[in-house]
Amino acid sequence: MDSRPHAYLDGELPLDALSPAERDRAAALQGLIDTAAVHLRQCAVPDLTSRVMAALPTPAVPVPAVVAEQPSAPIAAVRRLAAWLWNPQPIRLQLRPVVAFATFALLLVASLGLWSAAPSDPQPALVSETVAPPVYVQFRLDAPDAKQVTLAGSFTDWEPRYDLVQTSPGVWSVLVPLKPGVHDYTFVVDGVRWIPDPNAPQVPDHFGGANSRLTLLPPRNDT
């Protein structure tokens, strides 16, 4: 195997140091590299962010170590009182039977009165809600003249809460976790200009302008 064409491809030899045959060999190898690299770079790369974030393990809550120590005197007293109140205690009662019957009748009448006064409609049952995992959305704006860009939307009560950062000259970007659903938003440039996203559908903002609208489906959990 002739290593000189490879040395040229690795930038270790100039082209004019190669013989004509070595130049042909280097050109053939370069063609191969270009073809293979172009194909492999062209493959579409899926955005795995939501998928990864949904699959992250929940961190275990650290359990604080139990430290054996003697409680102080007031704490010990409170504990003794709580134990006395909670534990069953013998109680001795002496009653006249007529008083006992009268008390029982009184309690019966009172409980019936309360029963009839109770609302007839049943209380709504508490429904446990399943919290959908957030979807991570990258917002991007091309604003070459901007000094500062922020993001406001229905998910921030229209406060410009998210600062976009300049990832390359004139390109501003921020990554925001959002719940699945419909969100309206707008960019705020230099704190004064509210401009909708030119790459998203727009809806009237009821003030004569427009907001951008984003619809997010829940991330698939096909891990």
Partner 1 sequence: MSPSDTELIQRVLAGDRDSYAWLVRRYQEMLYRHALGMVSDGDAAADLVQDSFIKAFSSLESCHDPERFGAWVFRILRNRCHDYLRDRRRQMLPLDREAMLATSRECPDIDLERLTLGQTIEEALSRLPEAQREAFLLKHVEGCSYEEMAQRLDTSVSALKMRVMRAREALQALLKDRIEADHSKGIA
Please report how close the Cβ of residue 210 comes to partner 1 at its closest, in angstroms: 28
* 50, 135 Cβ separation under 8 angstroms: yes
> Is residue 108 part of the contact set for partner 1 (CB under 8 A)?
no
* 180, 135 Cβ separation under 8 angstroms: yes
Scanning the structure block, which residue is given the tokens 């172009």? 38
* 17, 8 Cβ separation under 8 angstroms: yes
Residues 6+ apart with CB under 8 A from 7: 13
> Is residue 6 part of the contact set for partner 1 (CB under 8 A)?
yes
> Is residue 40 part of the contact set for partner 1 (CB under 8 A)?
yes
Segment interacting with partner 1, rule: CB under 8 A, options 88-96, 114-122, 153-161, 165-173: 165-173
Neighbours of 117 (CB within 10 A): 7
Strand partners, 36: none
Cα–Cα dist 189/191, whole Å = 5
> Is residue 76 part of the contact set for partner 1 (CB under 8 A)?
no
Segment interacting with partner 1, rule: CB under 8 A, options 93-101, 120-128, 134-142, 202-210: 134-142
> Is residue 64 part of the contact set for partner 1 (CB under 8 A)?
no
Kindly list the residues in this chain that would bind partner 1 in the complex (CB under 8 A).
1, 3, 6, 9-10, 28-29, 31-33, 35-37, 39-41, 43, 45-49, 51-53, 55-57, 59, 134, 136, 138, 165-167, 175, 177, 223
